[in-house]
Structure formats: C-alpha cells, structure tokens
Amino acid sequence: MKKFLAKSYLYILLLVLYAPIAIIILFSFTNSKTIGDWRGFSLDLYANLLSGQAAHSATITQAVINTLVIALIAAAISMLLGSIAAVGIFNIRNRKVRKAIQFANNIPMINPDIITGISLFLLFVSLGISGGYVTVVLAHIAFCTPYVVLSVMPRLTRMNPNIYEAALDLGATPLQAFNKVIIPEIKPGMVSGFILSFTLSIDDFAVTLFTKGSNGLETLSTYIYADARKGGLTPELRCLAAIIFLTVLILLIIINRRSSRFNKEQ
C-alpha cells in the first residue's frame, strides 16, 4: 500500500512534468493556429516546415543551420581543449594550483546563464568585437569545456600511469605514447564530452542572446524567443520545438547509457 502510494506520487509528478512537452508535441500533429484547438491528425505543419512554405521559412531554415554549425564547431573545439586540459590538470602535482584551476573550471557551471552571457557581452564590447558567429562560438566553448574536463577526468584517474612511462621507456616518442596509450583510454570520455557539449550548445538560449550581436544572426532558441515575444508562437515552430525536445532527450539518454556502462566497468 505504502509502495503503491509512493509510486503514484512519482507518476503523477512525472505526468505534470512532461504534460507541457507532450502537449506541444501533440499539437505539432494538427493543423490549427492555437494550441488547444484540435483539428484532427495532420502532418501539414511538418510539411510546411520542410517544404519551406511556413511563414519566414527561409529564416527558420537559416536558424536551424546556424544552431547546428555553432554546436558542431563549439563541441569539437571544446572536446579538444577540454581533453588536453584534463591531461594537464591530472598531471599537476601542486595541489593549490590544481584546486585553483578546478575552481575556475567550475565557474561557468555555477554562474546563471544570464551572468555568463553578460560578462562575455562586456568582454566583446570592450574589445570592440561585434557579435556574430565567432563570438557565439567562443561563448559556447566557454560554458561547454568545463563539462568535457569533467567527463575526461574520471578516465584518467582510472588509468594505470605506468603504461605511459613504459611506452616511453620502450622508445616511443611522447607523441606516440600519447596517441597509443592515453587517447584510447580517454576516448569514451571525450566522446561523451562532445555529445554533452553539442547538447548544451543546441539548447542554449541566454548566452547566445547576449553574444549574437545585432547583425541578424539567429539560432533556433533566439528565433523562437523573438517569435514568442511578438505574441503567440508560429504554429510550425511547435514542430521544431518537438524536434529539439526529442533530440535533446535522445542525446542525453545516450550519454547516460555511456556513463552508467563506465560506472559498471569500475
């Protein structure tokens, strides 16, 4: 009985948590101007979106492309920067230096998005760099890299440090030893870090808003924001919201599978 009540509470809460998302997804499959007005199942909105017949279709397509390009570049650079940094941090013997770097690494994760966004906005303003692709990508690298560091670190901790030394003793150059010994060990962490960064980047709204500048660069989130601000969401955007929700959820489930497999191995 107690178990039944407890489980019911969880399921009711989950129902409420997922209801709004479910409603957006549901109403992306009907051809109506407003949510709540069900006009029968239809794929019209998706068709409009894909065929370019929706209002502002070109802008929406451009926003999708921008979002993906920014996410790919930011995730790739974060993965490289973060992995190299993790190897460095792991090999720092001075505890104080190590703590200081780890603290700085935590800052972007603790700060609310708006503070990260504003601080970078001020940086670009004072350097006289106008907002655009470059500033958005740099900003995304800033908040993604800490997560790469965090997903690579546990792999290094688990690694047997003697193998690298052994490779050097057996005549490998440091570069060879790195490629053959360290990379294979940390690769799963790098991949998780990449997927995580990609997800965070697609999903970001606040930081992008402050760093995109005024030259008309829009990502999906900022476009949806501008659209919602004008009053009511363009119906086709429900499809996009549905697609983003599902993409993010699937990516997160993949990352989680990977990390729980890693935990089991340990």
Partner 1 sequence: MSLSKLVQKRSNWVAPYVLFLVLFVVLPLLLIAVYAFRNPAGQFTLQNFVKFATQSEAMNTFIYSVGIAIITTLLCILLGYPAAYILADSKLNRSKSLVLLFILPMWINVLMRSLATVALFDFLHLPLGEGALIFGLVYDFLPFMIYPIYNSIQKIDKSYIEAAHDLGATTRQVFTRVIWPLSVPGIISGIMMVFLPTISTFAISEILTLNNKRLFGSIIQDNMMMSDTMNYGAALSLIMLIIIAITSAVSGDDSDLSEGGSLL
Rule CB under 8 A: which of 24-43 touch partner 1?
Answer: 24, 27, 34-36
Instruction: Decide: is 133 part of the binding site for partner 1 (CB under 8 A).
Output: no
Q: How far is the CB of 27 from partner 1 (least distance, A)?
A: 7
Nearest by Cα to 45 from 26, 65, 63, 64: 26
Vertex 107, ends 155 and 71: CA angle to 5°?
A: 70
Give the binding-site size for partner 1 (rule: CB under 8 A). Answer: 90
Least separation in angstroms between CB 62 and partner 1: 19
Residue with tokens 């005549």: 171
Selected binder of partner 1 within 46, 194, 198, 210 (CB under 8 A): 210
Q: Please give the Cα distance from 235 to 60 (Å, whole number).
A: 12
Burial of 11 (0-12, 13-18, 19+ CB in 10 A): exposed
Residue with tokens 């090999």: 91
Question: Contacting partner 1 (CB under 8 A), which of 19, 65, 69, 166?
Answer: 19
Task: Select 15 or 52, whichever has its Cβ closest to partner 1.
Answer: 15
Work out which of 56, 191, 205, 243 binds partner 1, going by CB under 8 A: 205
Contact 104, 167 (CB under 8 A): no
**CB atoms inside a 10 Å sphere around CB 186:** 23
- Residue 46: CB minimum distance to partner 1, A: 17
Q: Give the number of other CB atoms < 10 A from CB of residue 94.
A: 8
Per the CB < 8 A criterion, the answer to whether 35 and 19 are in contact is no
CA neighbor of 208 nearest in space, from 19, 70, 2, 68? 70
Smallest distance from the beta carbon of 216 to partner 1, in angstroms? 16
CB of 52 or CB of 104, closer to partner 1: 104
| Binding residue for partner 1, selected from 71, 136, 206, 239, defined by CB under 8 A | 206
134 forms part of the interface with partner 1 (CB under 8 A): no
CA–CA separation, 169 and 109 (whole Å): 40
- As measured in angstroms, the least distance from the Cβ of 19 to partner 1 is 6
Distance CA(185)–CA(163), nearest Å, equals 11
Distance CA 54, CA 150 (A): 41
Least distance to partner 1, CB of residue 48, Å: 19
Q: Where in 61-120 is the site for partner 1 (CB under 8 A)?
A: 81-82, 84-85, 87-93, 101, 104-112, 114-115, 118-120
Applying CB under 8 A, does 191 fall inside the site for partner 1?
A: no
Comparing CB distances to partner 1, the nearer of 52 and 264 is: 264
Of residues 51, 126, 157, 215, which one binds partner 1 by CB under 8 A?
A: 126
> Of 46 and 147, which has the nearer Cβ to partner 1?
147
Q: Does 185 bind partner 1 (CB under 8 A)?
A: no
